[in-house]
């Protein structure tokens, strides 16, 4: 299970759920991010933001955001979603080729539960690519619920050229035009979403702005 904490004002408070943390491996590799550049402008113009950073615990992100006067809450959804905990056993009537079934309602209730908090900024990164498909739409609905009107959500999406074998990485924040990537876990991409599919996922949000990154990943800055 994920470790979730709220950081702000030099203090931290654990949520009800905790467990094994994802181990980060290897060097950090900088990558240019136009979406992060745009989001930095929003953070600079709006002090005291409540930020949801989705991914394994990153001291770099905590220090960067709290140093700017924002508070941070972390949730490692990919680790939870790819555990055995939310996989349902096949019924006796199912055939061998039936797709894996998941307890989607329990996953959202337990892993996308922020103890009544809402947020001004969500750093979603490329999380949706690494979630089993039945989780994706309900997670986006839940994030829409907890993001304040006028808030921003930053998401990344891989493309066909990178493919399903692209390993899951953590993104670390820094001032400037780049974020650092670091290998996080041996999870593989579950699905690759077209621009139209991304627009449909975020259809209930107010506005969606696309950026094409130099490594051909698509970055999306979404306004609630």
Both structure tokens of 1: 């299970």
Q: For the chain, what is the domain count?
A: 1
Residues lower than pLDDT 70 in the chain: 1-21, 91-97, 161, 163-164
- Residues 107 and 153: their CA atoms lie apart, in Å, by 21
pLDDT in tens, 13-72: 233 343 446 778 888 999 999 999 999 999 999 999 999 999 999 999 999 999 999 999
Residue 7 lies in a domain: no
The residues, ordered by sequence, that sit 6+ positions from 123 with a Cβ below 8 Å of its Cβ are: 51, 52, 53, 54, 55, 61, 154, 171
The per-type count for the chain, helices as H runs and strands as E runs, is 6, 13
- CA–CA distances in Å: residue 69 to residues 73, 82, 163, 186, 194: 14, 33, 38, 34, 36
pLDDT (0 to 100) of residue 18:
39
| CATH number of the domain residue 121 falls in | 3.40.50.150
Helix axes 104-111, 133-146, angle to 10 degrees: 40
Domain encompassing residue 182: 25-88+99-223
**Average pLDDT of the residues of the chain:** 87
Residue with tokens 């996989």: 87
Domain membership of residue 33 (yes or no) is yes
For the beta carbon of residue 47, count every other beta carbon within 10 angstroms.
9
Q: Which residue has the tokens 């209730």?
A: 109
Question: Is 213 inside any structural domain?
Answer: yes
Is 180 a member of any domain? yes
């Amino acid at each position: 299970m994920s470790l979730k904490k709220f950081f702000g004002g030099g203090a931290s408070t654990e949520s009800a759920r905790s467990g094994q943390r994802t181990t980060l491996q290897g060097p950090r590799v900088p990558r240019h991010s136009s979406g992060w550049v745009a989001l930095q402008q929003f953070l600079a113009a709006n002090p005291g933001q409540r930020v949801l950073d989705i991914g394994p615990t990153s001291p770099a992100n905590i220090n960067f955001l709290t140093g700017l006067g924002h508070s941070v809450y972390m949730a490692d959804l990919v680790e939870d979603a790819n555990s055995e905990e939310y996989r349902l056993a096949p019924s006796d009537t199912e055939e061998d080729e039936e797709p894996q079934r998941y307890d989607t309602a329990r996953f959202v209730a337990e892993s996308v539960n922020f103890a009544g908090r809402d947020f001004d900024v969500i750093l979603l990164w490329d999380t949706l690519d690494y979630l089993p498909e039945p989780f994706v739409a309900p997670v986006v609905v839940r994030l829409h619920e907890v993001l304040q009107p006028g808030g921003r959500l930053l998401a990344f999406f891989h493309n066909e050229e990178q493919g399903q074998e692209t390993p899951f990485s953590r993104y670390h924040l820094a001032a400037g035009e780049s974020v650092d990537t670091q290998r996080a876990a041996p999870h593989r991409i579950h699905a690759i979403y077209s621009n139209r599919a991304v627009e449909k996922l975020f259809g209930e949000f107010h506005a969606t702005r696309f950026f094409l990154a130099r490594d051909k990943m698509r970055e999306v800055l979404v306004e609630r």
